[in-house]
Amino acid sequence: MDVYAPQVWQPHERPTLPGSPSNPDHSMPKRVAFLLVGFIVAITGGLGNALVSVNLPYLQGSLGVFTTEIQWLPAAYVMTNVSMNLLLVKFRQQYGLRLFTELFLVLYALVTVAHLFVHGLGSAIAVRAAHGMSGAALTTLGLYYTLQAFPAKHRLKGAVLGIGFSQLAIPMARLFSSNLLDFGEWRGLYFFELGMALVSLACVLALKLPPGDRIKVFEKMDFLTFGLFAPGVALLSAVLALGRTVWWLDTPWVGYALAGSIVLICAALAIEHNRARPLLNTRWLINPNIARLATSVLLIRVVQSEASGTVGFLQVLGLNNDQMLTLWWVVMAGAVAGLVVSALYISPTRIPGQLLFSLAVMALGAYMDSDATNLTRPQDLYLSQFLLGFGGALFVGPTFISGFGAVIAAPNNLVSFSVMFSITQTLGSLLGTAVTGTFQVWREKYHSSILVEHLTLLDPQVAARIQAGGARGLASLSAAATREANILAYNDVFLGITVLALLTMAGMLTHYLWTASVSQQSKSVQNAQTGMATASLNNSGSR
């Protein structure tokens, strides 16, 4: 039997694209099962990395490594996650998504088990790299399972939920990671991660996706592109993950790595630009609409990094994760609400309005945080963080759908879209953390210099504070000044994020208004030409 032979489908069953499952009718219990499996698989794809990301300080202590070394964990995940998306689409088109997913789920589980017995930074990095590879498949697999839960008329809602489930990973990780650490220290995180991988493997084996069309798509040049693109992305990920920690201009290897990444990625793109059947369609990627979409998503990932800024701000105040649990429940509620609202109201005509509204909500939330003081506590941030969680979840689904419509019209660009969306989401998260973290350090130094200028013994209040504190008075005053400088710096970060969200919203609104104006003018010209033609025909008839 030729597995690549075209199959006969009913009109409603035909797969959307080669490599995707068909769309047969399902009973209601089976639809519910598909939805549950889709949620489990999608969460597994993001939760393991989220558990590590929110607990890096603790893992640093348990592994006995430096701050610069522990940053390799999130970097390793991004390195493999972005790179595997380059081959994943063609792999599932030629061999089926199931084979790829099962292979890497098994690999992921085996490496996690090994890390439980080999305690070291090297094995931890290997687990993160394996998770990045499997996560690249699980995100798509979770989307496909979720789509099977919805009939054709509600498929857009399924797409919003399927792509949005991963947005819940970070707030979920903050909610119960402390309990996992209490249960088994660092091994508690990895036992849970192993359990999620095994549950997902059992789910995809028990409930199989409907078959789809398979075609031969791989070419030898694809692997040359991958051989250049993957190390280029790896170097760029390392720069973004560690640049702020080792500081950008103080460490020579950061510059060398950045230069190497530019050379490798540009070489890969140059090869693709001149291929007849490219893996990455550079001409499509530089299309104004696609480039605008990618830029918008990248900027929003920077805006969404406000959440990590909030954590840093509260830690400056001396709070730990247990004291923030209610705040994370509020963030989770906001994310779920945004996901539900987006799914309920999604339609092609409403996408621009949803995107603009989500940006406005996130801008408002960030602005509300920009006047924090040393008396601010988690309960003061409930509304602002709810808005940020709501806006972030509301944004991602319509963004994905607006870009995927162009892929359906030109299926050969599926790989290009997948890589673009992965880079803007995953690599964009590293970029957001790097940008906001660097800006916070820069502003802290500025505010610290201003505050220190006023800390002079000639000031009676300063002298009295030092004298009252005895031997520790000067150290206490210095710590207070550093804390205040950090608070002011975080306020600047939140205000900067507000401005960025507003500028992005203004750019999108300008584009929508311009497009609407051009469309209206085109219709007016067409109507005028039709009227002139009708009048001409009438005159001819009267003669």
For 517-526, the pLDDT digits (tens) are: 776 766 666 6
pLDDT at 260 over 90: yes
pLDDT at 28 over 80: yes
pLDDT at 392 over 90: no
- Burial state string for 466-501 with b = 16 or more CB within 10 A and e = fewer than 16: beeeeeebeeeeeeebbebbbbbbbbbbbebbbebb
Q: How far apart are CA 12 and CA 516, in angstroms?
A: 33
Are 303 and 500 in contact by the 8 Å Cβ rule? The answer is yes
pLDDT at 513 over 90: no
CA 137 to chain centre: 15
Give mean pLDDT, residues 480-502.
Answer: 88
Q: Radius of gyration over alpha carbons of the chain, in Å?
A: 26
How much is the pTM? 0.83
pLDDT at 398 over 80: yes
CA 195 to chain centre: 23
What would you measure as the largest C-alpha separation in the chain, in angstroms? 110
Q: Residue 411 has what pLDDT?
A: 63
pLDDT at 529 over 60: no
Q: How far apart are CA 207 and CA 145, in angstroms?
A: 9
Nearest 10 degrees: Cα torsion 361, 366, 367, 370: 170
Q: How far apart are CA 167 and CA 334, in angstroms?
A: 11
List, in order, residues 6 or more apart from 267 with CB less than 8 Å away: 228, 232
Which tokens is 182 given? 């209490």
As a whole number, the mean pLDDT across the chain is: 80
Which tokens is 393 given? 């979840």
Least confident stretch, 89-103, 187-201, 257-271, 497-511: 89-103
Shortest CA distance to 50 belongs to which of 193, 160, 204?
193
List, in order, residues 6 or more apart from 185 with CB less than 8 Å away: 62
307 band by pLDDT with thresholds 50, 70 and 90:
confident
Q: Residue 537 has what pLDDT?
A: 46
